[in-house]
Structures are given as C-alpha cells and as structure tokens.
Structure 1
Amino acid sequence: MMYQDSIDQASEKAALALAFLQRHRLAAHPVNFTVGYDYISGVNAELCHAIEQKLAAHIPFDDFVMAELYSNFIISTSKENEQLVNQVNQIVSKLAGSSELASEAITEYIGVLDHSLLALKTDDPHQARDTLHRLLDATYDVRTSQQKLRDQLKQSNEQSQQLRNELEDLKKSRQVDALTGLYNRLAMQEQVDQWLTEDPKRRIAAIAVDLDHFRQFNQDYGFNIGDVILSKVAKKISAYVQESGLPVRAGGEEFLILLPDVDLRTASEIAEQVRRGVEKLRFVSSRSKKALPKVTISLGVTLYQAQENWHQFLARTTSVMNVAKKRGRNQVATEAMV
C-alpha cells in the first residue's frame, strides 16, 4: 500500500498501530505492524471490513490471523496478475493480427474474383488464361492466410488452456494453508457463502478442533517438530472429512471442520472419530529416536444459526470447544451440553 503521509501523520498512525498491537498482545514485527498501520490508515477497505468483523465477533487476534490478513489483503498479487494479463494480451494481439491478415486476404480475393468473373467473359484465350492464373494465385493466398489463422487459433487455444490452469493454481494457492494443505479462512468464507446462497436455510455443522497443550509442546521440542505434528494431525482430520465437508486450518493449532447437511448428533459422532484417530497417532523424534508425548485434541460441535454471521458462528463454535478444554481436554463438547 502506498501512502502520502507527512512525517507527523505517519508518526501518529504508527503510534495508533502500535497501540492496536499492544491491545491485542501482538508483537510489533513487520507483518503485524503493516496490518495495524493499514487498518489505522483506513485506506484498505477490504482489510478494515475483515478486521471489524473479527472484532465484532470477538475473534482473538494472533500471529496466524495477522499473517492471514496480510496475505489476503495486503500482499500484492499484481505481478502475477500482470503476467497473466500480459499473456492474455499477447494471445489476443496475435489472434487480432492473424484475423486482420485473413480478412484482408479474403477481401482482396473477393475483388479478384469479381474482376475475374467479368474478365472470363472475353473471347480472348490468352486473357482468359491470365485471369485464371490470377484467380489461382489469389486462391492460394487465401488458403495460406486461412491456414495461418487456423494454426494461430490452435496455438491460442493451447495457451488459453495453460492460462486457465495457471489461474486455477493461483486460486488454489490463495485458498490453501501452505503448512497443512487444508483450506484457509478465505476458502471457508467463500464455501459457506456458496452453501447459504444455494439454500439460506441449509444446515451446517461445525467441529472446532484444538491441540491440547500445544504451545508447551512447541517450547519443549521446537517449532519445527511442532509443524510436523500439525501437518500429521491435519492429514488425519482431512481423512475423516474426505469429500463430505471442508477441513480448515483456522488458527495456529486450531482446525475447523464444516459439514453441510449434517445434524448435531452425526457431527458429534464424526468429532469423536477424529478425536480417537488423533489420539492413536504416535510420533518419534527423527533426531533422538525417542518417542514424543501423545498428542490429544479437544473438540466443540455446533450448528449454524440463520440469524448469525459466520464470524459469530465460528466464535460460538470455539466457545463450545473451550468447554471441552475446561472439562479436562481430550474430549468432545456439543452446544447441547453448554
């Protein structure tokens, strides 16, 4: 984001940005500070709207949330978009050039044809022969131009398909968490919006998942091993969802499973299966070859309510999951229990 702030304006915004970070107990590293500064500046409407929604739903801000905001609303994808646009422009330009040449050749051919048809009415055999030669040459020219146009169309179709693939890859990269391979919050919001657009009364169950004592685990064994654990747990969660729902990485060690057309009882049964599956996982340090502590998860299950927005829905699901933590962790809590 480009600014034209004076030194005084920049200093004032920087102080407010730091206050925002302190209020949410966030470190003032570049990513967090940039998000805070953009929010205070108010020039990034989409970023401000996303933050206001999270504030209204009392969603806690952490480094993961801030990195997600930075990725979705601040990091410019203009270079990638510019490359794609340039490629499209090249395809269109080549097609336009080939089409123009083909059009000129056809126009010229029609003129030669009209002239030749009149000339062929002569009784002079030499003139008729010359006319036929000119007509034949013009026909070859048209054939050549049409062949070039056909080749260009074929090439353009191939390039267009490649562009479509690149656009699809770009879309997927913006919707997938790099570490776990699960969907991110952007994909989750788009999917929920799509489900509710199809049917505003559609039943959607949510399972909030949080790794127990994971911050202590990271402190004891390091973030690299922690990332491996997160990745393995995410894979296990995804295995229970398959194509029937949407597995999401919602925070640092938090996951979310969205299940359309599923009632609370069925969602609770799925949550229990996920809990048991993760509990059975065993991890060994590749360096020391020693077994690592057993990893467990706490889960909360809720159903979407039509009168709430999806931020409120997620906040409520998290609060139900916190009930499972307060009751001893490694268990499933449902909103019926709260």
Structure 2
Amino acid sequence: MSQDTFTLSAGYLKKIVPLLMKYQVPATPTNYALWYTYIAHTDAELAKIMTDAIRECGSVSAAQCEQLYQDHIAEKHDKDFHELQTNLQAMAQEMGNTMVDTMKDTDVFQNTLDKSFKQLARVGEETLTMEETIALVRNAVKGSKEIKQSTSFFKNQLAEAQKEIARLKETLAEANEQAVNDALTGILNRRAFDDQLGTMISNPPPKGFCLLLCDLDHFKNFNDTYGHLMGDQVLKITAKRLSDYCREGIQAFRYGGEEFAMLVPNRALNGSRRVAETIRASIDKLVIKDKKTGTKLDNITVSIGVAEFEKGDHAKALIERADKQLYEAKNLGRNRVMPIA
C-alpha cells in the first residue's frame, strides 16, 4: 500500500466513528465496511441510497445498514448458506455410502448364516465331524463380529450426523434471527421495524414522521374459506402493493400475522393520512384468482390507523395511538383510514 493510499484510508476511518455515533449505528465490522464504502464513494448507487435515507429519515438504521451491506458489499451472504448446503450434501453422501456398505455387509453375513444353518441342519441327517461343526460355528461367529463392527461404525456415524445436524440447525436459527426480511412476503420484518422505529424516534426526520398500522379485514374468515395457501398469496400481494408506495423514505414492514406497518418520514398527520388512503384504495382494487376453482377474489380490504410522532414519544406510546385508530377503523365498518381528518 502506497503512503498516499494509506493516508487516504486513515482519513476515511477517522470519519467513520463520528458518523456511526451521530446516527447511532452499531460499530460492527459490516457497518465499518459499509460506511467506509459510503465515505470513499466507491459505489455511487450505495452512496445515493444512504444520502437519501439520511436526508429523508435523518439516519440509516441498523436494519437498513445490514440490507445495504448484503446488497452492495458482501460477496453474497449466500456463502454461509452455500457452506451449510455443502456440509449437508457431504454428510448425506457419506451417510449414504456407509449405509450401502453396511447393507452389503449385512447381505454377506445373511448369506453366511443361511449357508451355515443349512450345513448345521445336516447334523441330524448326516454325520459331521466335530472339526467341521466347530468350523461352521467359527465362520458364523467371524461373520457376526464383522457385521457388528460395520453396524457399530454406522451407528457412530449416525451419532456424528445427529450432532452436525443440531449444529447446522443452530446456525440457521441464528441466521434467521439476524435476518431483516420477512420470509413469506420479502419485505422488512418486525425486527427491522423495531430497529427503524427506535432510530427515527432517537433521530427524528427534519419534518417528523407518522406510523401507519394496516390490518387485512376478515383475514381469518378468508383463510377458513379459501385455505392458507390463498391466504399466503393475499399477504404477498398486499406486501407487494405496500412496497409500491415505498418512495421518498417510506418503508413497509410485516408487523405480524395479517398486520403491516409503514413509517412515513417528513409528513404530518394529514399528509400521511392521504398516503394511507391511497394505499387503502389501491388494495381495495386487488383481484386474486383461485387457480383451483378459477374464482376471482376481489373482496380484499384493509383498515389503517395513523399516528403522528410527538416530541418525547417512545415507541410503545406511538404504536398504541396508531393501534387505537386502527381499532376505531375496524369498529366503524373496516376498509377505511382513521382518523378521518
């Protein structure tokens, strides 16, 4: 590394820590790499996304940092999963080979036993010498020892495989915990929501922000009538429609079950309510076709509660206000946005 490059890199690193502290971003190796790339401006697309997020939301959340790192810097997080897949394939291959060998040994032992028993059966019919009888017994004992060794080896391999599977399950569970995207819909999950909401409360956007809580109407009845597979399709298409409105800093999250959340920066209550009304009307127009029956389902509606961040708010209070408005929308007949104005 040249002296100029070293000096430049050192300058970038000196800028990173104050930025992480300013925007309350955890000082992890991945975040260092992300913000180094941002400061160095070696990825124009990444720099624009982060600059827009800072301008519109006042910060870049830990969940956003993780997503941006995976999208722009990581040599594919899939490496870990590829390694898991490779380990599983190797283990399956080894187990398969051992099973085949054990089965072969078992077949050989079975043949030996059959042959020995047939010969031993001749004791009552023919005269076998003591030496011949002992030889038959010894042959059977030898075969039993060999099959015992083979099955013992296979048993040990099964035990090792069990340990390896437990380890892989643990690794996958940790990876799922660290994930910021909902597995079914692909949009950001509850963990990402909690993180982003905390970030926006600590560092509110210049013009504040609002929380939208959206709940699909009569979703349980929909599941009971059309089945859970169709229910999943409704969740996916709803999430896609919410994502269509994720611009100017707006973010959509799977909050839980049939409930979604959206964070709308730099808009007061009336402006956020207009966004919510546009989304509600858009979802009301959705049509899904049941592939089994050919029936078109056009009764998908959503109720939305809107709450505006107030100075001194904490997450629980803001969520409770939005939830109260959502409850009111349900009581008034569903398929509406509350408050009215």
Q: TM-score range by the shorter chain?
A: 0.3 to 0.5
More relative contact order in 1 or in 2 (CA 8 Å, sep 6+)?
A: 2
Task: Return the TM-score normalized by structure 2.
Answer: 0.47
Task: Return the TM-score normalized by structure 1.
Answer: 0.48
